[in-house]
Structure 1
Amino acid sequence: MKILIDNASSHTAKLTKNFLDVEGLGLLPHQPFSPDLAPCDFWLFPKLKIYPQGNDFNTLRALGAGLYHYFKSIPGEEYRNLFYKWVERLKLCVSAGGDYFE
C-alpha cells in the first residue's frame, strides 16, 4: 500500500517516517500544490462544508462523531472514483505543461 502525504512538518517528522516504515507503507511523491490536484480541495473540503449545514452540534465531539459516520456512509465506489478523478487531473496537468487547466 502507498500513501500520499504532503510536506507538512507533521508528515515529515522522524516519528511519522518511522511509523510508515514499520507499517510497510510506501510514499507517493507529492506534486506541487494546486487546488486542482489536491483531493482534499476538490473533493473533501466541499463535502465538509455541506455536511454541517442544517445539523446542530453542541460539542466538537458530536461534530467529530457526525463527520465520522458521514464519511463511513460514503460508498467505497465513490472513493475509488475519487482516485480515478485525481489521476485524470494529474494527466491534465502534465499535458498542460504544469500550467492552469480546467
Structure 2
Amino acid sequence: MKILIDNASSHTAKLTKNFLDVEGLELLPHPPYSPDLAPCDFWLFPKLKIYLQGKDFNTLQALGTGLYQYSKSIPGGEYRNVFYTWVERLKLCVSAGGDYFE
C-alpha cells in the first residue's frame, strides 16, 4: 500500500519511517512546502474552519464527537471528487516541475 504524507517533521521522523516500513507502507514522494497538494489543506481544513466557527466545545471529547459527526455528514461523492481534484493538482505540480502553482 502507498501513502502520501507531507514533509512535516513528525512524518519524516525515524520512528514514523520505521513504523511505515514495518507496516509495509510505501511513501509517495511529496515536494517540500506543498500545501496545495494536501487534501486536508486545500479541501478539509477550510470546511472545518467554517463548521467550527462560532461553536464552543467544553471538552476535547465533545470536540472529537462534533468533528466525527461532521465528517460523517460529508457525502461520499464529495470525498471521491476531492480525490479527482487531488490527482489534477498532482498533474499541475508535475507540469510545474515541482514548483508552486495555483
TM-score (norm 1): 0.78
Between the aligned partners of 1:7 and 1:46, the Cα distance in structure 2 is 20
Question: Residue in 2 aligned with 1:80?
Answer: 80
Question: Residue in 1 aligned with 2:57?
Answer: 57
- Aligned residue for 1:36, secondary structure, equals helix
Q: Which runs of 5+ in 2 are unaligned?
A: none
- Structure in which a larger fraction of residues adopt helix: 2
Question: Residue in 1 aligned with 2:22?
Answer: 22
TM-score (norm 2): 0.78
| % same residue | 88
Question: Residue in 1 aligned with 2:7?
Answer: 7
- Aligned CA RMSD, in angstroms, stands at 2.2
Between the aligned partners of 1:24 and 1:63, the Cα distance in structure 2 is 32
Q: Which of 1 and 2 has higher RCO (CA within 8 Å, sep 6+)?
A: 2
Q: Which runs of 5+ in 1 are unaligned?
A: none
**Native 8 Å contact 2:37 2:86 kept in 1:** yes
**Native 8 Å contact 2:6 2:32 kept in 1:** no
Change (3 A) 1:96 1:6: closer
Larger mean CA deviation between 33-42 and 45-54 belongs to 33-42
